[in-house]
A and B are shown apart, each in its own frame.
Chain A
Amino acid sequence: MSDEALAALVLSVRVAVVATLLNAAIGIPLAYLLARRAFRGRAIVDLAVTLPLVLPPTVTGYYLIVLLGRRGWLGQPLYAATGWSVAFTWYAAVIAATVMALPLLVRTARAAIESVDRELEKAAYTLGRSEWRTALEVTLPLARNGIVAGLVLAFARALGEFGATLMLAGNIPGKTTTVPLAIYTAVQTGEMGEAIVLVLALTALSCAVLVLAGRLGARAA
């Protein structure tokens, strides 16, 4: 495997791991809120989180540029204050992967949380547990299978992200070229050997993730 291919593989795993951790931090609380709480703007939050699942990734990428580009709504003040912009950095790849993967985790985890028997939560309340502790000790453990499945899907999605990443992070070898982008470039430049190596590596990695998820699921059940 060439140095560039190896760099792409390392970067892809790093981006997918960080994006999955961010997904866990943002997505699990969000899934809980959507499943258990009625709040103002709930429908809008639900829509915003789900949209990247149905929009073409390039459309999501476009919104991310409008938001985070040097002249974007958030990017402009950031650039004015720090002289730094997230576009074309590996953080941009993480952001793109996180946004694209979030609906998969939130939808799966939300369904799992909704299926938890509310009587058990009520029992915890009558035993004096706060909502916070009930969520941590009763609801989320019972929804564990669904949450793990959601995290696996999110990781796989983050690993394979292409369109939004290309738009926000570009395709800079060694910096933002993840495996899907490296495969695209390799095919475009006629380097089929390089493409095959990366295709097989990504396939093997995805299979490993699915097998691992199956084991986790079996143990949890």
Chain B
Amino acid sequence: MRLFTLTLAVALAAAPARAPAQELTLSVAISMKEAVEELGRRFTQTRPRITLRYNFGSSGELQKQIEAGAPVDLFISAAQRQMHELEQKGLILSGTLRVFARNVLTVVKPADSALDIAKPTDLLDPRVARIVIGNPRTVPVGQYAEESLRALALWDRVQPKLIFAENVRQALDYVARGEVDAGFIYTTDASTRARDVKEAFRPPEDTYRPVVYPVAVVRDSKHPALAQAFIQLLLDREGQTVLARLGFQPPPAGAR
């Protein structure tokens, strides 16, 4: 019995030292949720002792968390602006910054909507009472939507109809629930709830900056090499294949 107790004590004491599990925290623009989760599963398959923790949200919200010192290893943003602000403040490892995917803006309506919304000016129709966009202060998809609506000279006239969402998936949800008549999201989001929403039209791509996804290792990361390995997975053929299957486009040539 005493031997058993001793053995148990030694085993317990030794156990944590034998398996130094590492935890990697990824702050991810929520439009990348499914892609990063799938690649995360592949990442941990070959690295069984590593646990990935995801922190999904709007890029602006995630940016502010990192500025406030959140313990994050990797940041994936849905726009250059948030990443560049962090870069200017010296909060990311600049050498690790890469653009790995592209997306396209779309306008969707509830699947059972009877409204004929086929072009931007149709948003002025009085029957289109509410339009959801991401809050342009923190949500990239809202910033792209604002740019596009301004370029189309529609911003001032649709503004009274606008509802602001905290991130792109909330905007999608408002449309899917039928609370609003139309919403600006990414094409990849629309396909996550294809039964609840349908595409109305795509804003002309020359009316807003290209939607690109930069990724970088956060300066205070405790596992920069591991975070760098995840970036490599995003850029490699394996990562690009998964992204393409989920509807993302490859990054523009020469983008950084």
Contacts and interface: CB of A to CB of B under 8 A. Distances in A.
B50 interface: no
Contacts of B166: 171
Contact of B164 (A70, A85, A87, A170): A170
A189 B163 contact: no
A189 B64 contact: yes
Contacts of B177: 65, 69-71
A65 to B, nearest CB: 8
B11 interface: no
A88 interface: yes
Interface string B33-73: 00000000000000000000000000011001001000000
B129 A188 contact: no
Interface in A86-123: 87-88
A71 B178 contact: yes
Contacts, number: 42
Contacts of A50: none
B137 interface: yes
Interface size class of A (residues with CB under 8 A): 10 to 19
B130 A189 contact: no
Given A83-B129, A173-B164, A185-B137, A190 B179 contact: no
B138 interface: yes
Nearest to A190: B64
- Chain A residues touching B, majority SS: loop
B162 interface: yes
B135 interface: yes
Contacts of B163: 88, 170, 172
B155 to A, nearest CB: 15
Interface in B118-166: 129-130, 135, 137-138, 162-166
Nearest to B181: A70
A83 B166 CA distance: 26
B64 A87 contact: no
B65 to A, nearest CB: 9
A70 B61 CA distance: 29
B61 A188 contact: yes
A71 B164 CA distance: 20
B142 to A, nearest CB: 12
B72 to A, nearest CB: 16
Contacts of B64: 187-190
A172 B60 contact: no
Nearest to B137: A189
25 contacts: A65-B177, A69-B177, A69-B178, A70-B177, A70-B178, A70-B179, A71-B178, A88-B130, A88-B163, A88-B179, A88-B180, A170-B164, A170-B165, A171-B135, A171-B164, A172-B164, A173-B164, A185-B138, A188-B60, A188-B61, A188-B64, A188-B137, A189-B60, A189-B138, A190-B64
Given A88-B130, A185-B137, A188-B138, 5 more contacts: A70-B179, A71-B177, A171-B135, A173-B164, A189-B138
Interface of B: 60-61, 64, 67, 129-130, 135, 137-138, 162-166, 177-180
The 7 closest A-B CB pairs, nearest first, are A189-B137, A71-B178, A70-B178, A190-B64, A70-B179, A88-B163, A188-B61
